[in-house]
Amino acid sequence: MELETIIGLEIHAQLSTKSKLWCGCDNDAFGAEPNTRVCPVCMGFPGMLPVLNKEGLDKAVRGAAALRCKIQKFSKFDRKNYFYPDLPNGFQISQYDQPISCKGKVEISVDGKRHTIGITRVHLENDAGKLVHTPSGTLCDYNRSGTPLVEIVTEPDLRSPEEAQILAKEIQKILRYVDASDADMEKGMMRFDASVSLRHKGTEKLNPRAEIKNLNSFVSLFKALTYEINRQKKLWEKGTPPDKETTVGWLDNEEKTVIMRDKESANDYRYFPEPDLPPVTFTDEAIEDIEKAVAELPSEKFHRYRSDFDLGEPEALKLSEDKVLADFFEQVVDLSDNPKKSANFILSVILGNTSWKKSSIVPQQVADVINLLEEGTISSTGAKEILIEAMKESQKDKTAKELMIDLDLEQVSSSNDLGKWVEEVIKTNPQSVDDYKKGKEKALQFLMGQVMQISKGSANPPKVLEMLKKRLS
């Protein structure tokens, strides 16, 4: 009988705030000397009181809204009690029965087919510290203790390790897009717990699952799930499918999972309401504003760029991925009314300058360049030169036209000037004129090159071509 795989993910992502969730300590501790980003609050000293970081809350609800979750008008914090040396308080402040948001969804595309994956809830909690294992013993580093996290729980809607990986990447993209998290895997800013079980295809019941803890890359997420599915398959084939929920660990070096313990249930954590923090409340208007701010996601933008602007897939993808870039692009389109050229110049010229976001170039300059090109006032090479110049700090506040004049890029289109050059070239190249009249198309290209040379590149090529053809017909 055929078996079906059921996967759900729990994703922890660090919010990109300046300070930690309950204190003013620097939240950017990556690479810092151990225990230098700490204070009595995040070290869990007796009597210390947490204060909720507003930026942390803002980023959490923005991320949740982008995952299309309903922001709750009322939510509260709870203590999740467990003992571990990296948790100095002896509890984590998390959210239990009333999280900031629930019931969202994320769309993913698997082999060209769209799937909707349900998001059960998104809640806010703090991270624990870190244990560093050395040959002489285990050390504790509390720099990460108190870092704000969102925990994103999905519905068991995933059917394969591939789907799980695609969803994880999509969520990374969304969190980055709305500036909730940098979600940098290498810095441990995003970690996965993956629950997996099997069942006979066609049945509805969920069987006891194994939860694979703390996967910190897309590759290990994929490999660990694949391994665990095979392990469970063998048990099913032997007639002894898993009969209780377990927590398993993934050994990256050996590429296998090991059973660690029976899975904890909520009872084990003795949750109770956090007495030191007030509940969080939002008005309807505030929730509306949050939802408005994340109205269109990268995947939705991508489809709009494809259908409304007729952009190719790679162009639409690149331009929709990053919010700052997408906003810039759309402003250029608004001003130039030329989506294709806007996309083209932004991707080929502006993005070529790695620090373009810090550069002083504005959408109006790009749109003006496109208009000058379309009118034939400048060549496409000239257009590129102007854009490169416009990105320099020293050229701030100059219009595209001013830059064109500074760089002497205006093409000569007047019939008088062009006519003189054309006549001269015809006079001095009788052989080529003859060749062209005998049907050699290449000779025309040569004559045109000569005109461009005499004009020192300032002649408008399409006009020159038109004039030469007319003159020699």
Binding interface with Mn ion (CB under 5 A): 151
When CB distances are held under 5 to 8 angstroms depending on the partner's kind, the choice from Mn ion, Zn ion, none that residue 42 binds is Zn ion
Q: Which is nearer to Zn ion, 25 or 370 (CB)?
A: 25
Backbone angles phi, psi at 410, to 5 degrees: -70, 130
End-to-end CA distance of the chain: 79
Q: Which is nearer to Zn ion, 19 or 220 (CB)?
A: 19
Q: Spell out, one character per residue from 29 to 68, where the chain touches Zn ion: x when CB under 5 A holds, - when not.
A: ----------x-xx--------------------------
Q: Which is nearer to Mn ion, 141 or 151 (CB)?
A: 151
Query: CA quadruple 207, 212, 218, 222: dihedral positive or negative?
Result: negative
- C-beta separation of 320 from 297 below 8 A: no
- In the complex, the smallest distance separating the C-beta of residue 85 from Zn ion, rounded to whole angstroms, is 18
When CB distances are held under 5 to 8 angstroms depending on the partner's kind, the choice from Mn ion, Zn ion, none that residue 151 binds is Mn ion
- In the complex, the smallest distance separating the C-beta of residue 20 from Zn ion, rounded to whole angstroms, is 5
The reply to whether 290 sits near Zn ion by the rule CB under 5 A is no
- In the complex, the smallest distance separating the C-beta of residue 35 from Zn ion, rounded to whole angstroms, is 11
Q: Which is nearer to Mn ion, 5 or 145 (CB)?
A: 145
When CB distances are held under 5 to 8 angstroms depending on the partner's kind, the choice from Mn ion, Zn ion, none that residue 153 binds is none
Q: Which residue in the shown chain puts its C-beta closest to Mn ion?
A: 151
- In the complex, the smallest distance separating the C-beta of residue 12 from Mn ion, rounded to whole angstroms, is 6
Residue identified by tokens 């219009």 is 399
Q: Binder to Zn ion among 23, 64, 190, 383 (CB under 5 A)? A: 23
Q: Which is nearer to Zn ion, 26 or 308 (CB)?
A: 26
When CB distances are held under 5 to 8 angstroms depending on the partner's kind, the choice from Mn ion, Zn ion, none that residue 23 binds is Zn ion
How far are the Cα atoms of 63, 297, 387 from residue 346, in angstroms, in the given order?
28, 20, 9
Residue 56 CA to its chain's centroid (Å): 19
- In the complex, the smallest distance separating the C-beta of residue 151 from Mn ion, rounded to whole angstroms, is 4
The reply to whether 343 sits near Zn ion by the rule CB under 5 A is no
Count residues near Zn ion (CB under 5 A).
5
- In the complex, the smallest distance separating the C-beta of residue 10 from Mn ion, rounded to whole angstroms, is 7
- In the complex, the smallest distance separating the C-beta of residue 238 from Zn ion, rounded to whole angstroms, is 51
Q: Which is nearer to Mn ion, 151 or 274 (CB)?
A: 151
Instruction: Provide the binding-site residues for Zn ion, judged by CB under 5 A.
Output: 23, 25, 39, 41-42
